[in-house]
Amino acid sequence: MANGSGPEPVIQELRARTADFVRDVAEPAEAAMLSGTGAPDDRLRRALQQRARAAGIFAPTAPRALGGLGLDLCGQSVVLETAGRSLLGPLALNCAAPDEGNMHLLARTATPDQRRRYLEPLVEGAVRSCFAMTEPAPGAGSDPSQLATRARRARGGWVIDGRKWFVTGADGAAFALVMARTDRGGGEPEATVFLVPTGTPGFEVVRHIPTLDSGFTGGHCEIALTNCAVGDDAVLGHAVGQGFAQAQLRLEPARLTHSMRWLGLAARAHETAVRYTCGRTAFGSRLGDLGMVQQQIADNEIDLAAGRALVREAAQVLDSGLPGRQETSVAKTFVAEAVGRVVDRAVQMCGASGLSGELPLAAYLREVRAFRVYDGPSEVHRRSIARRAVRRHGAPDGRPAESAPTTDTDGAGQVSSGGRA
């Protein structure tokens, strides 16, 4: 975004092409999917990605050197919101979770060989990936210190044992980024991220977990790792013990890109409802002319505008190279709850049609509800937001801010639902 007047011309043009693609390709494919299985498969993914590549809108978040469009986060905030107007838009553009977040992390931390083996085919759309951190209780969720999966040294590499669940996209993924404890003793819990091909002996997709949402290829799965042996070259970036920092590096921008996509879906839901209220009459007037309906319309407009402003403010912070934990937590928490409000109001305004399969709103409501849990529950983000405020302005017991406790592991930076981030 060049200035306060709006997106640069190249972003405006890319947004227009993306909007045309979503309207002409993604939305009809989404309607067919919702009337059928309700979930995309790899055949559909490949077909949509081929058409997005032909339209020149493929891989907007990936590095230019690898064939992506290389947009910064401010540019992504425009294009990803437009793509997000359909459940299948981000998948078609190859900027959907979890692959989009994994691309970002690999681009920042992978070795040259890891980039060749994992990142390049991911950017091309030749494969899918997943991110495996969340574990069944009492393992890690919002509290990363509870990480139970362990990796122990073995001749020539590592052996990983543990169980993961809510790993988005695991069924059919070519590889997983697996977080495991590699404690060397005498200090804080230590974690390492391993790149594990899903065909590795000891890596097993145990089951699909039934969930409220169903819009992601490969489902949400439970994974077992049993004597899963990998080489030293499986350690992401050869950085043993840096897993928590790497996860945070991935998740700060991932919170924003998730917010961008969901804002697009909420905007489409809102527009669908407004059009409905303009065509439906009751009590002698259009629904859209009734005061209570107009309040819902206005509240949706406010939530969407505020969400966009928070996302783009956080994007500017990260694009400038500054840390953005506070800004991304604030944006994610607000947007996760705002899109739920927007879609819920849209359903209400459309009455029985909103609850039915005649409109896509009921499906959207199921999808967006999960965002209040994914990428850190709202409650955990609020905890982190408040703790940072206390450190900035002084602890409640009167101690100066600089002496207040600073051992905040930022659980909100951890994914409460696997690789969806």
Tokens of residue 134, six digits? 């969340």
- 236/381 same-domain check: no
SS3 category, 406: coil
Report whether the peptide linkage leading into residue 98 is cis, meaning its omega lies within 30 degrees of zero.
Answer: yes
DSSP state letter for 372: G
Hey, what amino acid is at 244?
F
Hey, what amino acid is at 379?
E
Helices (H) and strands (E) in the chain, counts: 13, 9
Pinpoint the alpha helices (H) of 63-139: 73-83, 89-93, 99-109, 112-114, 120-124
Q: Are 77 and 259 in contact (CB under 8 A)?
A: no
pLDDT tens digit at each of 421 positions of the chain: 544 456 799 999 999 999 999 999 999 999 999 999 889 999 999 999 999 999 999 999 999 999 999 999 999 999 999 999 999 999 999 999 999 999 999 999 999 999 999 999 999 999 999 999 999 999 998 888 899 999 999 998 999 999 999 999 999 999 999 999 998 776 777 999 999 999 999 999 999 999 999 999 999 999 999 999 999 999 999 999 999 999 989 988 999 999 999 999 999 999 999 999 999 999 999 999 999 999 999 999 999 999 999 999 999 999 999 999 999 999 999 999 999 999 999 999 999 999 999 999 999 999 999 999 998 899 999 999 999 999 999 865 545 444 333 333 344 333 333 444 4
- 137/214 same-domain check: yes
Which phi and psi (to 5°) does residue 315 adopt? -65, -40
Q: How would you class 167 by CB atoms within 10 Å of its CB: exposed for 0-12, middle for 13-18, buried for 19 or more?
A: buried
Q: How many domains does the chain have?
A: 3
Q: Domain range for residue 352? A: 244-420
- 86/215 same-domain check: no
Instruction: Classify residue 162: in a domain, yes or no.
Output: yes
Instruction: Classify residue 370: in a domain, yes or no.
Output: yes
The H-or-E segment that residue 171 falls in is: none
Q: Which of 47, 145, 55, 60 is nearest to 99 (CA)?
A: 60
Beta bridge partners of 150: 161, 181
Distance CA 3, CA 136 (A): 46
Q: Are 151 and 140 in contact (CB under 8 A)?
A: no
pTM value surpassing 0.75: yes
- 167/91 same-domain check: no
Q: Are 140 and 133 in contact (CB under 8 A)?
A: yes
Distance CA 100, CA 413 (A): 16
Beta bridge partners of 196: 176
- 285/368 same-domain check: yes
- 272/366 same-domain check: yes
Distance CA 128, CA 109 (A): 19
- 73/138 same-domain check: no
Instruction: Classify residue 368: in a domain, yes or no.
Output: yes
Q: Are 160 and 228 in contact (CB under 8 A)?
A: yes
- Domain of 100, CATH number, reads 1.10.540.10
- 377/359 same-domain check: yes
Q: Which residues contact 163 (CB under 8 A, 6 or more apart)?
A: 135, 136, 139, 148, 149, 222, 223, 224, 225
- 252/395 same-domain check: yes
Distance CA 358, CA 352 (A): 9
- 24/39 same-domain check: yes
- Domain of 311, CATH number, reads 1.20.140.10
